[in-house]
Amino acid sequence: MRIWDVHTHLAGAPGSPRQRAEKMLRSADRLGVERFFLHMGTIFIADPTPDALRLANDEVLEAVKADPERIRGLVYVNPKYPEASLAEFERCVVNGPMVGVKIWVAVRCSDPRLDPIVKRAAEQKATLIIQHTWLKIGGNPRIVGDGNSTGESTPTDVAILARRHPDVPIVCVHVGGDWELGIRSVSSIPNVMIEVSGSYPTEGFVEMAVREVGADRVMFGSDMPGRSLASQLAKVQGAQISESEKELILGGNLRRLLAPIYQKKGLKL
Ligand SMILES: [Zn+2]
């Protein structure tokens, strides 16, 4: 089975960007992961300035040199700075080796400031756009962890964004963490993909996602090194679903989303 991991980071590991990527390659080798996709720099910055964006993307560009065949980058953008974000997209994806877009927690993704980024990415065939989501309870956004921060999206925000761009796939990262609610929030929007990284490897998560939206809308990501690759893989490998469904989730769907940009760049899937 060709396992591709859409969601990995440099933060949370020691060493230079390249040393971090080399360590992750060893983890990938141990667990049979063929390729993985890196986004964001060696430090997580929730609301990066244009300078911080460039630095984070430079670190990823440096890290992928550890094995450009197996590791690819997704450009980190902040919709609060549309011009700088589009410039980073041009630099890293259109004129560089990156193959998709990562958006984190600076702006809720239902915000219209995402539209120019999604449109430009789609125009350039970069149809792997991955958006973080989480569902926090507690309700006080001023207390860290007590509720979603002002810019942190929920799966409902992804549903709103995806409705505005019905021809562009949007990957709902973590599907909110609270997956029973998250899956229901996006199930009726056909262009939303459910990504399963980041929460505990709970039995029933992947099974429910497949039941509600079909295996062709479910995607594996690990979020390593913040999460262990083994436990995240176990979510899919141990799920009570068919082998062909596992193949789609562990790599087939990601390759389908990457096909337009890989073709444009002359890369091998
Ligand atoms: Zn992550």
The pLDDT tens digits of the residues spanning 219-250 come to 999 999 999 999 999 999 999 999 999 999 99
Please report, in angstroms and rounded to a whole number, the separation of the first and last CA atoms in the chain: 14
The reported pLDDT for the residue numbered 147 is: 77
pTM over the 0.85 mark? yes
Mean pLDDT of 51-65: 98
Q: Does the domain made of 3-265 have the CATH classification 3.40.50.2300?
A: no
Alpha-carbon distance of 232 to 219, in angstroms, equals 12
Query: Which residues lie below 8 Å from residue 181, measured CB to CB, with a gap of 6+?
Result: 135, 155
Ligand 1 geometric centre to CA of 5 (Å): 12
As given in the structure block, the two tokens for residue 99 are 């193959």
Tens-place pLDDT, residues 94-117: 999 999 999 999 999 999 999 999
| Distance between Cα 192 and ligand 1 center (Å) | 18
SS3 label, residue 46: coil
Rounded CA gap, 98 and 54, in Å?
A: 13
pLDDT at 81: 98
* CA 218 / ligand 1 centre spacing (Å): 17
175: CA distance to ligand 1 center in Å? Answer: 12
pLDDT digits (tens, 9 = 90+) for 246-262: 999 999 999 999 999 99
Residue 52: is its pLDDT beyond 90?
A: yes
Site of tokens 């990284």: 197
pLDDT band at 146, cuts 50/70/90? Answer: low
**Domain ranges in the chain?**
3-265
CA of residue 159 to ligand 1 center, whole Å: 20
pLDDT of 137 > 80? The answer is no
pLDDT tens, position by position, 160-172: 999 999 999 999 9
